[in-house]
Each structure stands twice: as C-alpha cells, then as structure tokens.
Amino acid sequence: MDIKKKNRFNLIDAFVVLIILALIAGTVYFAFKENNEFQSELRTKNITYTVLLENVDKDFLNVFETDGHVLNSSTLEYIGKISKIKTEKAGVWTDKAEKDAAGDGYTVIKKEYGDVYDVYITITAKASMDERGIAYIDRQRITVGTCVPLRFGNFSVQAHITAFSTN
C-alpha cells in the first residue's frame, strides 16, 4: 500500500515563517539604528542646561561646586560640568496676595520652609543632536521639563531641566 503524504502549509509552519521574518526585520532595524546613532554622534554641539533641585537640605549645599563633574546616577556616565550655581530659600506659594509697591497689581506670597533650598545648577556639556534638534547626552534626552537622575560626588537626586540652549 502506497500512502502519499500531502504537503500542507499548517499553523506551525506559519509561525516559523513569522519568527524568521521578525528576526530579519529586527536585524535590519538595529543595523540602521546603530548607523543613525553613529551619524548623530558626528552632529555634536555644546549645550547649556539648567536643572532645579528642590528642597535641598542646608547641610548638602557644599556638595555642589563650580567646575564639578555631573554624572547620570542611573548609568554613572559623565553628562556635564557645573558652570553656575544659584540657591534660594525653598517655599510654597500661598493663596494670599499683597499689593505691589507701585499699587497697580498684586504679588502672590511665598511661604518659606526651614533650612531647605531650591538649587538651580547650570551645566555645560557636549550633546548629540538628532534630526529634530533634540539633544541627547549618554542616551538621556535633554529637553525642558525632562526629569534627569543626577549625581554630584556621593549625592544623588532627581532634577528637572528648567532651561536649555545650544552654544
């Protein structure tokens, strides 16, 4: 008795073909992605950005030094050098207002906390710029409003970028 096996395309064969196509597509994607990252490294610019560290205790203010190095606390990669430091008493905006000295407007009253400060640190660095003009330092996106994990010596903090400019 001669039984012939029919060649049919079944569900398992379809999955195998899809997996092979996905592997090929992934390889091509990462090959082009690496080339784009290499090209973006060629488009480096000097940038200056300011970060806000909120409610820093008075005892830690000596950690920040002009010309000090700044690291990304997640990757421990260098992301810039401190060029300027500004501190002001931390506080919260109240729901009360007082008349301006000129008498033509009002100013909302800010209630200060104890010995805590808001620290504005201006950082200069070299950044890779993508085709949209967005800066990256060590794969960390540098845009106003972005939260950045920073490390100054042994002091680590989450900071928000408040200003950004290219030089």
Same domain, 27 and 55: no
Tell me the mean pLDDT in the region 19-34: 84
Claim to verify: residue 104 and residue 74 sit in the same structural domain: yes
Owning domain of residue 57: 45-166
| 134 DSSP assignment | -
Contact between residue 91 and residue 111 where contact means Cβ atoms under 8 Å apart: yes
- pLDDT value at residue 158: 92
Judge if 37 and 50 occupy the same domain.
no
Is 108 or 159 the better-scoring residue by pLDDT? 159
- Summarize the confidence of residues 65-84 as an average pLDDT: 91
Q: How many domains does the chain have?
A: 2
Query: Do residues 68 and 106 both lie within one domain?
Result: yes
Angstrom distance (rounded) from CA 8 to CA 79:
58
Q: Could you tell me if residue 91 is inside a domain?
A: yes
Say if residue 2's pLDDT is above 50: yes
Instruction: Give a yes or no: residue 1 inside a domain.
Output: no
Instruction: Kindly report the number of other CB atoms within 10 A of residue 40's CB atom.
Output: 16
Q: Given this model, what pLDDT does residue 83 score?
A: 95
In tens, the pLDDT along 142-153 reads: 999 999 999 988
| pLDDT at 24 > cutoff 90 | yes
Which residues face 88 on adjacent strands? 118
- Alpha-carbon span 62 to 60, nearest angstrom: 5
Q: How many CB atoms lie within 10 A of CB 49?
A: 25
pTM over 0.85: no
If 0-12 CB within 10 Å is exposed, 13-18 middle and 19+ buried, where does residue 127 land? buried
